[in-house]
Structure 1
């Protein structure tokens, strides 16, 4: 087994206490204790997906991760869950290092987390969102470009990251299109303090996604994803499949009927009350300008994702995926992913430094030869 690469220190690694600036995102139905602990043991930051767990399952999952590793890890929560305050108290009690949110929590919850030493990192997809949560006092932001899987914006990573870095004074973790050390170095060059990857970690040996679904992913190319609003009413990048095509062509009545059934199933599974779901619906309609039918469609997401990621039904489920799926052709271990990315990044940085140094030496030599430089000026 190859030795672990040396640390790669950035403001993000210093903030959360990890060895490498590599984050495994909190993918629903995918980022379970085994994957999270493997990432933490490899020196990155693993984030446990808790939005699809009821409270008891959530507590058990946190305990499971802690039994597997002593390294820092994070937990992804929904800021609008009715028991989010109780879940936050669990994070504090169990000394979880990072709380990750799709949207930042209420001010009092954010204050509670930060007072107790929990690092708060919301995910954002636009410059204005980054500025907003930075003003709220978050510790860092995870900025995902349009190439990324799941709910995503339309601004490409190469444009979004420089915008966000210039707009906020907290560490920025770049997401959307990353899979190797070259991408990590590119993100650092843009001013980010690390990278986050979802699809790359989904396609690892420690991922609990069924093997037949993993093989399904590996058969797809960079143009085989689609950014659709027909899954849950807001832009969502997924693999293009016959199921997704059906969703895109289904009439309003048929789609709404399916969504109502899935809403009932998700309510039972997650422990979310109808009152809480309606409250969320009002908030989503204000924030995303959704119709009520689009809000009800949002219940499709967890249940359709579960069909593929848990039940192995690639034919019946929806599979979130970044465009990066088209450049992946293997199922390495998590350690191989993390260490490979960092080792490659060190090599790239060393080569760039050497190339720059060599170019500088050549330039100085020419200046001495022709007298144009400060050393060889002729008088």
Structure 2
């Protein structure tokens, strides 16, 4: 299935596995790439050296294109951009709008730049900077998300820019891919669906917790890090929702210290990143501290399998999922189903 995305990146299928923190490591990215999709490494939860090793590991397992997701506000973001250029990573993805200089440096080196955006005005901005494509996630998506549904956000972005647009938020099968293509998108990006694959390193018992959820099994909360965050409904999340902000701040400070030790960042680096997060936003200092808390809460659930102390990011699509296929089985089924649907459409005219 050939689209503007497959031509741009050099993959066989217009299916993207998003850069989920603690989930999108070398094993999942390699499996996605080998299955013909675009796998994206999540670097936000890696140290600089861990990212370098992860890129080398993927490169050693596959010769197919893959990407790396960067946090534009990270203290060492510029160094990570240089690392991607030095290692010849095909795609640079950004969780937040990148700096213009990052886009220009990456493009000058031959990389494809694909930021994730949540509004048409942001899409126009990065397109003016030279971004090659954008991923647009509607409110159904997991993790940090907005309030506008994909069915409205996607066409608004398609009307705003002339570069390829990849649709995210609520996609899991060939029907979704066919629908996205009909809107005018160049492909789909999925997180939760790839989290629930055999190559995902999320513990099996945690995957089973995902599979037990229905369409009402997620909630958008601001009590994790002060920003809207779609996660599974768990006892911990219910506790955070009902507890006072003082209690939440206490746990946030404690977990921020744990993340400092794990990541190797200094308090100065963490404060600098917090200031970058706060810049231009109506965000309190308490929320800034809570943002540093998030990686540890996600790690506890997605890596350690401790759902009593961890948070499980998830899209609403979790309520439609009932199996844990391999990445190849997943992508093959999505593409074959989409092709069959597209083939039937002319009979409607």
Question: TM-score, length-normalised on structure 2?
Answer: 0.98
Distance in 1, matches of 2:333 and 2:277, equals: 40
Corresponding residue for 2:213?
220
Corresponding residue for 2:299?
306
| 2:32 paired with 1:42 | no
Distance in 1, matches of 2:115 and 2:155, equals: 18
Q: CA deviation at 1:105?
A: 2.6
Which blocks of at least 5 consecutive residues in structure 1 are unaligned?
1-7, 360-379
Distance in 2, matches of 1:283 and 1:50, equals: 18
Corresponding residue for 2:133?
140
Contact 1:29 1:49 in 2 (8 A): yes
Corresponding residue for 1:20?
13
3-state SS of the aligned residue for 2:280? helix
3-state SS of the aligned residue for 1:299? helix
Distance in 2, matches of 1:344 and 1:153, equals: 29
Q: CA deviation at 1:93?
A: 1.9
Contact 2:178 2:342 in 1 (8 A): yes
Distance in 1, matches of 2:51 and 2:97, equals: 19
CA RMSD of aligned residues (A): 1.1
Contact 1:234 1:288 in 2 (8 A): no
Distance in 2, matches of 1:286 and 1:315, equals: 33
Contact 2:104 2:129 in 1 (8 A): no
Alignment of 1:250-269 (within 5 A): 250-269=243-262
Corresponding residue for 1:93?
86
3-state SS of the aligned residue for 1:18? coil
Corresponding residue for 2:278?
285
Contact 1:82 1:272 in 2 (8 A): no
Which 4+ residue blocks in structure 1 deviate beyond 6 angstroms? none
Q: CA deviation at 1:272?
A: 2.7
Q: Is the deviation greater in 289-298 or in 77-86?
A: 77-86
**Higher gyration radius (CA):** 1
Q: CA deviation at 1:107?
A: 2.2
Distance in 2, matches of 1:94 and 1:163, equals: 35
Corresponding residue for 2:186?
193
Contact 1:232 1:297 in 2 (8 A): yes
Distance in 1, matches of 2:271 and 2:128, equals: 28
Distance in 2, matches of 1:277 and 1:129, equals: 26
Corresponding residue for 1:149?
142
Contact 1:81 1:272 in 2 (8 A): no
Distance in 2, matches of 1:43 and 1:222, equals: 29
